[in-house]
């Protein structure tokens, strides 16, 4: 299951209206990308714009990594603080969707699925060389 926000109330309110969503959701992504060991939790704040929705994400979770020095598994908390604009889907946006750098919501379903965006942000948070601690000496002899 993903993280899908209901836009029914927000889309009926005037421009500038704000709606907050408290999130606590267990989401599983392919383990070769990121191995989450705790639910994604925090808050997503949506603001209605004249041409879409502005979202502010303040989320956290824990993931399992393998230390690049000692090869032991460890868990690390990941903080996700980012912003994104979403635009209503129309028929003319097929090319923009294929580029993947623009995010859309369905004005018909009145839902905003943020699962893929959160997955991408989590991948950006993966350390290049994960270390269980900065003092790790590597594999013990």
24-66 confidence digits (pLDDT tens)? 999 988 888 899 999 999 999 999 999 999 999 999 999 999 9
Provide the pLDDT for residue 31.
84
Provide the pLDDT for residue 98.
47
91-111 confidence digits (pLDDT tens)? 666 555 545 568 888 878 899
Provide the pLDDT for residue 60.
97
DSSP 34-99: -EE-S-EEEEEEEEE-SSSEEEEEEEEEEEEEE-TTT--EEEEEEEEEEEEEEEE--GGGHHHHHH
d(CA 49, CA 55): 10
d(CA 56, CA 82): 6
Provide the pLDDT for residue 58.
98
From first CA to last CA, the distance across the chain in angstroms is 44
61-91 confidence digits (pLDDT tens)? 999 999 999 999 999 999 999 999 999 987 6
**Beta bridge mates, 58:** 43, 81
Provide the pLDDT for residue 30.
87
**Of 106, 110, 138, 139, the residue nearest 13 (C-alpha):** 110
Which H/E stretch holds residue 120? Answer: helix 115-125
**Of 25, 48, 44, 27, the residue nearest 36 (C-alpha):** 27
């Amino acid at each position: 299951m993903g993280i899908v926000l209901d836009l029914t109330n927000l889309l009926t309110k005037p421009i500038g209206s704000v709606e907050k969503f408290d999130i606590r959701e267990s989401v599983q992504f392919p383990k070769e990308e990121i191995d989450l060991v705790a639910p994604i939790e925090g808050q997503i704040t949506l603001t209605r714009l004249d041409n879409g929705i502005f979202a502010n994400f303040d989320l956290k979770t824990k993931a399992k990594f393998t230390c690049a020095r000692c090869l032991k598994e460890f868990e690390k908390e990941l903080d996700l603080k980012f912003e994104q604009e979403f635009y209503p889907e129309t028929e003319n946006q097929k090319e923009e969707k294929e580029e993947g750098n623009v995010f859309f919501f369905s004005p018909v379903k009145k839902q905003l699925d943020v699962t893929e965006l959160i997955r991408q942000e989590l991948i950006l948070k993966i350390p290049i060389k994960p270390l269980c601690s900065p003092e790790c000496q590597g594999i013990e002899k």
